[in-house]
Chains A and B, each alone.
Chain A
Amino acid sequence: MWKWIQAFASPQNFYQISEKIIPWFLSPFIILTLLGLYWGLMVAPIDYQQGESYRIMFIHVPAAWMSMLVYLIMAIASGIGLIWQIKLANVVAKVSAPIGAAFTFLALITGAVWGKPMWGAWWVWDARLTSELILLFLYLAYMALNNAFDNPKTAAKASSVLAIIGLVNLPIIHYSVQWWNTLHQGVSLGINKVAIQDSDMLFALLLMATAFKFLYATLILLRARDEILFREQNTRWVKAVIMGDEK
């Protein structure tokens, strides 16, 4: 297993493998998204309290989950890069940041749009909303710090420390609805707890959540592939790949 990980972590192997597996992530993303949209917008029944407006949940909740998952992956990759100096880990952390920021932005926007008809306000300084906004700032700070240095090693070190420190925000986001009195609803899905009782609603939500995971996998492979080409530009294999493309 360790041997396989080491082989996969080599930039050249990763590049070659990622080229082959990208379609295996992209296709399920498209299929699951179409199915999830159909189930969420057409099949799932109207909510007895929120009416049709709850359908925003099928975008908002998966985006919010992904915003935290991507940050967790980014922080773990940063830790691995910092401790074991694995180049690929730093690449994964770097390319995850803009994707995570996009998911966080989407969660905040859809949350505001859902909040207006339900709470009567686009925004409230609620614990869940504020901690999610801090997550967006953490992503932006990570990207700014990573781009502030010319040397990729120094950039990775500085931004990795920030990513690891920022991890403290994840439990705050998750437990904010339990620790504080908030307008935001409680946990939708958790260990031993399913707040969504209707099976069609739950199915649509799980479809969209899985689709978002495939989306992340596709994007990270696409972006990591380019980042590797850039970082390894002085190697023979990159030259062969680029000049081979021209023929």
Chain B
Amino acid sequence: MTWVDVFDFLPFGKYAFYIWFSYLTAFGVVGFLFIRTTFIHKTIQKQLRNKYLREAK
């Protein structure tokens, strides 16, 4: 039994594995880009805030 057979109950039958794999990968990539961007944003804010607080002391 191949992955193609495992997923053929989904819409798009024998192509379900290929189609859903592609779309899920796309969601994963877009999600990763947003999560990474948010992480970078928070890290920079934290770094700069600590720097300014250190300088103020």
**A positions within 8 Å CB-CB of B:** 37, 41, 51-53, 55-56, 59-60, 63, 98-99, 102, 105-106, 109-110, 113-114, 116-117, 215, 219, 222-223, 225-226, 229-230, 233, 238-239, 242-243, 245-246
**B positions within 8 Å CB-CB of A:** 11-15, 18-19, 21-23, 25-26, 29-30, 32-34, 36-37, 40-41, 44-45, 48-49, 51-52
CA distance A111 to B41 in the complex (A): 32
Q: B25, B33, B34, B41: which has the most chain A beta carbons within 10 Å?
A: B33
The answer on a CB contact under 8 Å between B37 and A233 is: no
The answer on a CB contact under 8 Å between A51 and B15 is: yes
Residues of A within 8 A of B41 (CB): 222, 225-226
Q: Assuming A55-B19, A117-B18, A230-B44, is B26 touching A106 (CB within 8 A)?
A: yes
The answer on a CB contact under 8 Å between A243 and B40 is: no
Tell me the total A-B contact number using a CB cutoff of 8 A.
80
CA distance A215 to B29 in the complex (A): 12
Residues of A within 8 A of B15 (CB): 51-53, 55, 117
CA distance A56 to B23 in the complex (A): 8
The answer on a CB contact under 8 Å between A219 and B32 is: no
The answer on a CB contact under 8 Å between A116 and B48 is: no
Question: A53 touches which one: B18, B25, B51, B52 (CB < 8 A)?
Answer: B18
The answer on a CB contact under 8 Å between A102 and B33 is: yes
With both chains docked as a complex, state the minimum distance between the C-beta of B36 and any C-beta of chain A, in angstroms: 8
Q: Assuming A52-B13, A110-B25, A117-B18, is B44 touching A229 (CB within 8 A)?
A: yes
The answer on a CB contact under 8 Å between B25 and A245 is: no
The answer on a CB contact under 8 Å between A63 and B45 is: no
Residues of B within 8 A of A106 (CB): 25-26, 29
Residues of A within 8 A of B30 (CB): 215
With both chains docked as a complex, state the minimum distance between the C-beta of B4 and any C-beta of chain A, in angstroms: 8
The answer on a CB contact under 8 Å between B19 and A56 is: yes
- In the complex, the chain A residue whose C-beta lies closest to that of B12 is A52
The answer on a CB contact under 8 Å between B48 and A56 is: no
List of 8 A-B pairs having minimum Cβ-Cβ separation, nearest first:
A52-B12, A53-B15, A52-B15, A110-B22, A56-B22, A59-B26, A242-B48, A222-B37
Give 29 pairs: A residue, B residue, CB < 8 Å, sorted on A: A37-B23, A41-B11, A41-B23, A51-B15, A52-B12, A52-B15, A55-B15, A55-B19, A59-B26, A60-B22, A102-B29, A102-B33, A110-B25, A114-B18, A117-B14, A117-B15, A219-B37, A222-B37, A223-B40, A226-B37, A229-B45, A233-B48, A233-B51, A242-B45, A242-B49, A242-B52, A243-B49, A245-B49, A246-B49
